[in-house]
Structure 1
Amino acid sequence: MTVALLGVFVMQLYYIREAYYLKSQLFDEQVNQTLANVVKKVERLNVADHLNKKDAENKLRRLQDSRQRALDIKDLRQQYAQESELRQAERENQIENYLNQQDSIIRASYRGPKLISENEFKSLSAPKASITGTRLDVEVDALVDLNSLNLKGYSMRTKLISPDSKTFNFRTPQNLPDTIRYLVADPMTGNPLLVGLPKISDDLEKKFRRQDEIAKKRLELKIASLGKDTFSYTRLSMVEDVSKELQEVNVPLYQRINFDVLGTLLKEELLTHNINQKPSFKISLAKKDSVLYMEASNIKKEFLPENTYKIPLFGNDLFRDPGTLIVSFPNKNSAILSNLSATLASSVGLLLVLVFIFSYTLYAILKQKKISEMKTDFINNMTHEFKTPVATIMIASEALKDPEVTEDKSRLSRLANIIYDENVRLGSHIERVLSIARLEKGELKMENTEVDMNDLIIIVLDSMELQLHKRNAIINLHTDATNAVVYGDELHLSNVLYNLIDNANKYSAEVPEITISTRNTNKQLIIEISDRGIGMTKEQSKRIFDQFYRVPTGNLHDVKGFGLGLNYVQDIIKKLNGTIKVSSEKDKGTTFEISLPL
């Protein structure tokens, strides 16, 4: 059983060790994977920061270019408007010259030309009913008889006169229609005529239109050229610039890392991999023993080699110091053991069950062995105790067969008394064994009454007077208890006292000296029975109340008994809610102390 238990214990330790080793490997893999993910994210964040920075710069530059382009376009349009105004003024001069030139021709070709308004033209050109059917109904400086159409008088000049001033002058505001109308007189017949002069000739109009188209085309070309000059920055150019920045040698490590963001990333990744331990970490240069940043989770700020993990921060950086991320777990073992809690609990529980079963089995085996030995001793003692009175009775019975003995009445009476005493002795032995059996089965009935223990002690001493007198025993009696009345069975209490006094008498090597005392303590009656006999060792004192146990005396059998008396005493005292204690010293004596409730 011991070998099997040790084998199971060793196997459990082996399995726990293997489980711890596997959990430790898993923990290392999780931490290394976490650090690899953190480094990848740091590198991506570094590139993303550069890209965002470039993107922001590009957006700002594009915004500035856009604003500048808008301002340039605005300037071009203002310039175009100014040029248009200048062209318009020049055109007005040309139109003015053209109109004045045509006006001179008209005035040279016709008599008394007069400019008329558009309304006048419409009234003159409108159809009217007349006798002659003429369509002209004009008012001129001549007097005309409409019925006969005879000219009575007019003031039209007969000679062409050139006016001293220009007819058209654009310096003063004039609203000219598209066609300028003249009322003139036919130089040959003198009849009134309507002459139309277009405001702009076809050549001038084509010329002006061509000038506008050229100016507009020139404006569009200038605006288009501004668009070509605008800042153009592609994604490829941005990546190339970022790549150049990442290859710059003189950028220190602390400018490439946000330490707070790194700590947050590390904690988040550890939680993602089911690692709840708060780590200590620091960032140092790879090429120099220089710590740039450190965050410790313990007071000592220790980074033990067995609990520390390292990884380059920028492993792909060939031009600058890549830096090193160092992470330590001060409570690494507790973290691994916490993951092994179920395994450890089951293993420890199994081992405890096995140890309990093993211990109980050994206890039961040893107990049964002791009981077997004690029963053997009990049988031997009982056989010896029964053999003596039986042998005595047999001898006395054989003596009674002798005729000489039967004739002697004194000898006959003596033999009869011997047979009676030995028979009583056998009966007391049998009764004692049966009482113990009934007591074990719970069949012993107690007839409890009020008993005065001071009086009961005296009665028991009187009943034992003969056997005490045989050994010349000295009895010291101190009944100091003022109240010695207890509630119990008088017969069994007397047996308790008898057994204790009898043991004190029997286990005294010389003249027995027995002291019996009573006293009161806190509603308790204390009875002490002490002797100066052979005494016992401490080991023997612990077992004297066990059933069948007798203090070993070697091969001698001087003291008779079954080893049941003190076991009986203890059971009776317990049934009366009392206690019994023993104190003894080898070769100096023994003291029994009984405590009973009043």
Structure 2
Amino acid sequence: MTVALLGVFVMQLYYIREAYSLKSQLFDEQVNQTLTTVVNKVQRLNVADHINKRDAENKMQYEEELRQRELDIKDLKQQFVQEQEIRKGEQQVQVENYLNQQDSLIRVSYRRTQILSENTFKSLSTPAPRIGRSLLDVQMDAVVDGDFNLKAYSMRSRLASPDVKTFNFRTARTLPDTIRYLGEDPMTGKPLLIALPKLSDELVQKFKREDKLAKLKFDQQLSALSKGIKPYSASSLLQDVEKEMREVNVPIYKRIDSGNLARLLKREFLNHNIDQVYDMQVKLARKDSVLYIMANSGNPNFEDNKTYKVPIFSNDIFRDPGTLMVRFPYKNSAILTNLSFTLASSIGLLLVLVFIFSYTLYAILKQKKISEMKTDFINNMTHEFKTPVATIMIASEALKDSEVTEDKARLKRLAGIIYDENVRLGNHIERVLSIARLEKNELKMENTEVDMNDLILIVLDSMSLQLQKRNAVIHVNTDAENAVVFGDELHLSNVLYNLIDNANKYSADTPEITISTRNTNKHVIIEVTDKGIGMTKEQSKRIFDQFYRVPTGNLHDVKGFGLGLNYVQDIIKQLNGSIKVSSEKDKGTTFEISLPL
């Protein structure tokens, strides 16, 4: 049984160790997988940050170029307008020079020339509605004689003032397309209308060419500005990002965000069902330089077997890739927590097996002890029965002698011996049968009111011969004012008899026995004290066991079966009482019985 139990225990330890190893490997795989996922995301985030940064810079540059182009276009249009105004002014000067030149020629070629406004010209062309004549007045001065013969004349023309308002803001301030003069023919003196075109055909062609060239130049410049900006392509963006990521002198703390790394690591651990406390550290791979540390367990040591390491930028060849280190200070307890059900079931089964094993051994040892006690009991019973049987046999053989039968005194004495020994034998048998009935709960109690003070005196009186035989000194202190209990008088007397008999038998010298009673609350206390051989504490714990007798070596000087105190305890318990013993080796023993009133 012991070998089998140890074998089961060793196998359980082996399986628990294997389960712990398996859980530890699984935990390591989950942590390494989580760290790999985290560093991959960090690398992708690094690339994404570069792309987003470069893309934002490119967009800003593109928008800045667009704004600059709009400003350039606006400036170009303003410049074109200014140049156009300058050109128009220059053309106006040329027109004025041309008109002044033509005006000089007209004024030289004709007399009394004056420029007609558009309204005046219209008035001359159309008769006035009110007076029915033209606005042009021709005056003639003639010299005639008495016969009205013309001797000489002179003629001049003038314009009549048109009926216009003094202030007329609708009057055109610009020159008409054709400028008209009123003059006189130098030969005839007749008034003439002279028309001068505002622009000659040469000037018109020249001005058109200048305007066309200016417009063509403006369109070319505008087209050049519009085609100068191109959107930033994805290939150029990736090339710039690749170039940036190949820069050797960029430190690792500029490539990762420690706060973002801590949040990402925590989220990934939770996604992998890892909620244990951990310490984190980011350091250079090629130098002993710590960049970031997060300590949740005081002063962590990142060099033990609870630490996991992984390079952050494993693809970097020229730059320091950095190292992410994570340590789980309570890794073992976390794994054991995961194994709690397995451990609990294994420990429970082992405890059950240990209990069964212990109980089996206890039962075997108990049965062995009971067997030994029964053997002792049989031996004691044999000795106890042998004496009265032998006495009866001797007395019976003596009765066969005719001389003895004739002597009536001797006959009466022998008959009395046979009777006493028969009673003694019957008492032994009754005691054994009473114990048997107690074990089977077949003992019937005839309970009545019993005064324990009186019962003590009655038992002492019945034992007077035994006590006198050893010259026992008896002290009786019946101090209990109320000593009436409800119980079986016969069995209570047997209880007292057993206790007093033990006190008498287990006293080495002259027995000194004290019997006292007293009241406490609702109980009566009966104490039987002797100054005999006493017992050890170990023996005191076992004296109420069945068949147990305090060992006295090889001597059999004290008679008994080892059933008396067991009988006493059973009777007291059936009467709802209690019994205690206090004893000291070679100083005496005290039995204390408590019974309800």
TM range (shorter): 0.7 to 0.9
Query: For 1:314 and 1:409, how far apart are their aligned partners in 2?
Result: 128
Quote the residue 1:14 is aligned against. Answer: 14
- Match of 2:526, SS state, is strand
Note the C-alpha offset of 1:223. 2.1
Q: 1:437 maps to what in 2?
A: 436
CA–CA separation in structure 2 for the residues paired with 1:401 and 1:514: 44
Of 463-472 and 245-254, deviating more is 245-254
CA distance in 2, matches of 1:303, 1:481: 80
Hey, what does 1:543 align to over in structure 2? 542
Q: 3-state SS of the aligned residue for 1:486?
A: strand
Q: Which residue of 1 aligns with 2:27?
A: 27
Could you tell me which runs of 5 or more consecutive residues in structure 2 were left unpaired when the two chains were aligned: 110-114, 126-132, 138-154, 158-170, 181-194
Q: Residues 376 and 178 from structure 1, CA distance in 2 versus in 1: closer, same or farther, beyond 3 angstroms?
A: farther
Structure 1 counterpart of 2:241, which letter? V
Deviation at 1:503, TM superposition (A): 1.2
Partners of 1:303 and 1:330 within 8 A in 2: no
**Residue number in structure 1 paired with 2:70:** 70
Change (3 A) 1:173 1:511: same
Per-residue Cα deviation, 1:386-422 (whole angstroms, up to 9, x for no partner): 3332333233233323322222211221122122212
| Partner SS for 1:517 | strand
**Distance (Å, rounded) in 2 between the aligned partners of 1:428 and 1:550:** 19
Residues 88/361 of structure 1: CA separation in 2 closer, same or farther (3 Å cut)? same
Task: Report the 3-state secondary structure (helix = DSSP H, G, I; strand = E; otherwise coil) of the residue aligned with 1:558.
Answer: coil
> Partner amino acid for 2:309?
K
Distance 1:423 1:176, change over 3 A: farther
1:228-377 correspondence to structure 2 within 5 Å: 228-230=227-229, 233-303=232-302, 305-377=304-376
Equivalent AA in structure 2 for residue 80 of structure 1: F
SS, match of residue 256 in structure 2: coil
Give the 3-state SS of the residue equivalent to 2:305 in structure 1: helix
Please say if residues 581 and 594 of structure 1, whose CA atoms lie closer than 8 Å, have aligned partners that are also in contact: yes
Identify the residue that residue 59 of structure 2 maps to in structure 1.
59
C-alpha distance in 2 between matches for 1:555 and 1:445: 38
Partner in structure 2 of residue 3 of structure 1: 3
Contact 1:405 1:412 in 2 (8 A): yes
Query: Aligned pair in 2 of structure 1 residues 204, 547: CA closer, same or farther (>3 Å)?
Result: farther
Could you say what secondary structure the match of 1:519 adopts? Answer: strand
Q: Following the alignment from structure 2 to structure 1, what is the Cα–Cα distance between the partners of residues 47 and 472? A: 110
Deviation at 1:90, TM superposition (A): 6.5
Residue 80 of structure 2: aligned partner: 80
Cα 1:101–1:590 change in 2 (3 A) is same
Distance 2:363 2:382 in 1: 27
Equivalences for residues 345-494 of structure 1 within 5 A: 345-494=344-493
> Residues 12, 209 of structure 1: CA spacing in aligned structure 2 closer, same or farther, 3 A cutoff?
farther
**Identity of counterpart residues, as a percentage?**
73
Q: Is the 8 A contact 1:65 1:231 kept in 2?
A: no
Task: Compute the displacement of 1:368 (Å).
Answer: 2.4
Distance apart, 1:337 and its partner CA:
0.9
User: Cα–Cα, structure 1 residues 273 and 406, in superposed 2: closer, same or farther, change >3 Å?
Assistant: same
Question: What is the aligned partner in structure 2 of residue 185 from structure 1?
Answer: none
**Cα deviation, residue 565, structure 1:** 0.9
3-state SS in 2 of match to 1:415: helix
1:493-548 per-position Cα deviation (integer Å, ceiling 9, x unaligned): 21111001111112233332222233334544332222233333332222111112
Task: Tell me the distance in 2 between the aligned counterparts of 1:217 and 1:307.
Answer: 80
- How many angstroms does 1:374 deviate by? 2.5
Give the corresponding residue for 1:38.
38
Q: Scaled by the length of structure 1, what TM-score is found?
A: 0.80
Q: Which moved more, 1:84-93 or 1:423-432?
A: 84-93
Alpha-carbon distance change, 403 to 201 in structure 1, aligned in 2, over 3 angstroms: farther
What TM-score, normalized to structure 2?
Answer: 0.80
- SS of the residue corresponding to residue 64 of structure 1 reads helix
CA distance in 2, matches of 1:409, 1:241: 146
After superposition, what is the alpha-carbon deviation per residue over 1:430-469, rounded to whole angstroms, capped at 9, x for unaligned? 2222222222222323333443322221111111001111
Please give the alpha-carbon distance, in whole angstroms, between the structure 1 residues aligned to 2:577 and 2:197.
151
Q: Report the equivalent of 2:48.
A: 48
Deviation at 1:204, TM superposition (A): 8.4
Corresponding pairs, count: 565
Aligned to 1:530: 529
**Residue in 2 aligned with 1:152?**
none
Q: Go from structure 1 to structure 2 and tell me whether the alpha carbon gap of 1:89 and 1:524 turns closer, same or farther (over 3 Å shift).
A: same
What's the C-alpha RMSD, in Å, of the aligned pairs? 4.2
Q: In structure 1, how many angstroms separate the alpha carbons of the residues matched to 2:66 and 2:457?
A: 130
Q: Deviations over 1:537-584 (max 9, x none)?
A: 332222111112222334433322222111111111222222212223
Q: Pick closer, same or farther for the CA change 1:362–1:199 going to 2, 3 Å.
A: farther
Residue 225 of structure 1 is matched in structure 2 by: 224
Superimposed CA distance per residue, residues 52-88 of structure 1 (whole angstroms, 9 cap, x where no aligned partner): 2222222221221111111111111222333444555
Q: For residue 23 of structure 2, what is the amino acid of its counterpart? A: K
Deviating more after overlay: 534-543 vs 199-208: 199-208
Alpha carbons 1:536, 1:590 under 8 Å: kept: yes
Q: Confirm or deny that 1:505 pairs with 2:504.
A: yes
Q: 1:204 to 1:407 in 2, by over 3 A?
A: farther
Aligned to 2:308, the other structure's residue is in SS state strand
SS of 1:306's partner is coil
How far apart are 1:176 and its partner, in Å? 9.6
With over 3 angstroms needed to count, the CA separation of the structure-2 counterparts of 1:473 and 1:214, relative to structure 1, is same
Structure 2 matches for 1:157-236, cutoff 5 A?
173=172, 214-230=213-229, 233-236=232-235
How far residue 102 of structure 1 moved from its aligned partner, in angstroms, is 12
Preserved contact between residue 512 and residue 532 of structure 1 (Cα < 8 Å): yes
- Structure 1 residues without counterparts, runs of 5 or longer: 109-113, 125-137, 143-154, 158-171, 182-195
Q: 1:201 to 1:391 in 2, by over 3 A?
A: farther
Provide the rounded CA distance (Å) in 2 between the counterparts of 1:461 and 1:491: 14
C-alpha separation in 1, matches of 2:285 and 2:96: 89
Distance verdict in 2 for CA 1:426–1:220, change over 3 Å: farther
The code of the aligned residue for 1:27 comes to F
